[in-house]
Amino acid sequence: MADVGLLWANPTPGNSVATTATAFRTVFVMCNLPFRRILYSRFKTVGRSFSSTPKASTCTSSCECRLAKGAIPALIPMVSASRAPDESRPPRNAGEFDTMFQQIKNWGRWGADDQLGSANLVTAAKRKQAVSLVKTGETVSLAHNPLTEKADDNSNPFEHTMLRGYSMDRYAVSYHGYAHSHIDALCHILYKDQTYNGYARADVNTEKGCTKLGIQNLKSGIVTRGILIDIPRLRNVPYLEPGTAIYVEDLEAWEKKAGVKIASGDAVLLRTGRWARRERLGPWNVGQSAAGLHASVAPWIKARGVAFLGGDAAQDVTPSKVEGVTLPIHTLMITALGINLLDNQDLEVLGETAAKLNRWEFMLTIAPVPVTGGTGFPLNAIAMF
């Protein structure tokens, strides 16, 4: 249900109430009736002004105000002043996306030969900070058990074949996609035939593997502070519906609720409730419709110094809401910023544990098998409280 507000305005001759709302400075009260809350905002223009004062701090069946003389009420749909409509959020198209890419890219930041990208932000001091967060010693795996059955979100099932007297076995997996928990190397996504740090496709992506930026660069492993952003818990729902976009104000609202602030070197994990929804309603085509980050959050992620970004799908809201760009978050994170992505992480138990302990920060370890030239690897990241 859309937000509906009671807007009080002083109409001028010949103008409707809705028109007058933008013609005068007005204090309005907007009530989201199902959630019984009030939002305040102020439109500023030239001309006369008046104010209205709410009688109560929460909405019940309606919102009542004491009005200035001559004010006329109008019940009209509104959009919260704190959230612009999706279609007004840049980047809206490929041109605006390119502008953002060029503005935020980290190419050359750590040297012309750098292959670590934002992993450089995980310093020795950051690792020590992460270790200091361990209080109870409780550990939580972020890996979803490999999916062995073909489904709408699993076009390449994990294969497990028993060999030689059933005391040996063979695994086969095509892990990129929307089913298997994995980490993306920095050679996984290109933009305009270039990888992170401006390397040319022809010099990096070969039939024998990536000559630069392969997953072997993380051989020593990552230990850093992990922060869980749980948007379903922020909104008091079990999961977000596919196609729900997450914006900067959502991330900051979660920081306020959880009492944490994302800082340089952190690994940020975004829970949308994808696996909870799958458990309840069955699989669906996550590549075509998934809750996730809107591309407009990318400059904020750079400003905060995020080193790794993960989630329970592929981080991007799909459809992307950026015309002509299918996976803007993937491209901005990996190719522009040099941020390795942790895709399809199972964050359900992590969310339950963090809620139980009321602790949304923890030590996180990431240790992929160092396949030389690999574009990533299946992953079992571990959170420790």
Where among 29, 55, 82 does a domain terminate? 82
Is residue 77 located within the same domain as residue 109? no
Please give the model's pTM, rounded to 2 decimal places: 0.79
Asked if 21 and 8 sit in the same domain, the reply is: yes
One domain for residues 74 and 91: no
How far is Cα 32 from Cα 44, in angstroms, rounded to an integer?
A: 23
The rounded distance, in Å, linking the Cα atoms of 244 and 219 is 35
- pLDDT score of 202 more than 80: yes
**Domain end (from 52, 82, 112):** 82
| pLDDT score, position 115 | 99
Beta carbons of 140 and 353 less than 8 angstroms apart: yes
Are 245 and 323 in a shared domain?
Answer: yes
Q: Rounded CA gap, 156 and 103, in Å?
A: 36
Say whether both 143 and 21 belong to one domain: no
Same domain, 50 and 97: no
User: Could you list the residue range(s) of the whole structural domain that residue 23 is in?
Assistant: 4-82
Give CA–CA dist 303/264, Å, rounded.
9
The pLDDT of residue 86: 63
Give whole-number Cα distances, 249 to 8, 111, 252, 309, 320, in Å: 27, 33, 5, 18, 18
> What pLDDT is recorded for position 84?
53
Take residue 334 and report the two structure tokens written for it: 């990996």
Judgement on whether residues 252 and 293 belong to the same structural domain of the protein: yes
* Number of independent structural domains in the chain: 2
Whether residues 197 and 125 share a domain: the answer is yes
Predicted confidence band at 88 (pLDDT cuts at 50, 70, 90)? confident
- Residue range 21-33, pLDDT digits in tens: 333 333 333 333 3
Examine the domain organization and report whether 243 and 273 are in the same domain.
yes
Q: Binning pLDDT at 50, 70 and 90, where does residue 49 land?
A: very low
CA angle 271, 277, 280 (to 5 degrees): 145
| Nearest Cα residue to 59 out of 30, 28, 31, 29 | 31
**So what's the pLDDT on residue 41?**
34
Same domain, 280 and 301: yes
In angstroms, the CA 67 to CA 73 distance is: 9
Same domain, 31 and 131: no
CA 278 – CA 239 distance, rounded (Å):
10
Q: Return the CATH number at 268.
A: 3.50.30.50
Q: Are residues 71 and 135 in the same domain?
A: no
Query: What is the tens place of the pLDDT at every residue in 120-178?
Result: 999 999 999 999 999 999 999 999 999 999 999 999 999 999 999 999 999 999 999 99
> For the chain, what's the residue count?
385
* Span 105-119, average pLDDT: 99
Last residue within a domain, chosen from 82, 109, 143? 82
Residue 329, both tokens = 């978050």
**Model confidence band, residue 83 (pLDDT cutoffs 50, 70, 90):** low
Percent of the chain's residues with pLDDT above 90 = 77
Q: Are 275 and 312 in contact (CB under 8 A)?
A: yes
Arithmetic mean of pLDDT over the chain: 84
Q: 272 with 232: CB under 8 angstroms?
A: yes
